[in-house]
């Protein structure tokens, strides 16, 4: 996927949540040798893997393709690639009010290890905690 394609999908996936990333942000991330992307125009993830740790920087599923297993497939792909790159632990951050994403991660074995209070500011002024989740890779 190109940075432009990622930005468009990300904007659709996070519409109304005030946190879509732009083409320049994706292009900058992709210049790093430690960052990889898995997925396609329905769902994708950007991951940074360094030493024995990996971090999911974002995972986005287009609204037209939700509840069809694409997020789960992307999660499985990124876990496999992170492990291939030597990661033994995988981290990610999710908004506490993102029930669908939390269910996806819980179903895949992620556990909460920390919390950032009122981290996400929504366009309507409401704040949501950020949950830091971790999974040990085999």
- Residues assigned a catalytic role: 93, 105
* Angstrom distances, CA of residue 25 to CA of 4, 20, 58: 10, 10, 12
The helix (run of H) or strand (run of E) holding residue 36 is strand 35-39
Instruction: Count the helix, strand and coil residues of the chain and give each as a percent rounded to the nearest 5.
Output: 35, 35, 30
Q: Please measure the distance between the N-terminal and C-terminal CA atoms of the chain and give it in whole angstroms.
A: 28
For residue 91 the two structure tokens come to 């981290």
């Amino acid at each position: 996927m190109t940075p432009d394609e990622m930005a468009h999908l990300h904007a659709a996936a996070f519409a109304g949540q005030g946190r879509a990333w732009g083409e320049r942000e994706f292009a900058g991330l992709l210049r790093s040798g430690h960052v990889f992307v898995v997925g396609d125009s329905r769902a994708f993830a950007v991951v940074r893997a360094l030493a024995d740790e990996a971090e999911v920087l974002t995972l986005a599923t287009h609204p037209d393709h939700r509840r069809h297993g694409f997020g789960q497939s992307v999660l499985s792909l990124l876990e496999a690639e992170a492990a291939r790159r030597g990661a033994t632990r995988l981290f990610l951050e999710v908004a506490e009010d993102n029930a669908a994403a939390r269910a996806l991660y819980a179903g895949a074995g992620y556990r909460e290890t920390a919390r950032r209070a009122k981290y996400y500011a929504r366009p309507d002024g409401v704040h949501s905690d950020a949950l830091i989740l971790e999974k040990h890779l085999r």
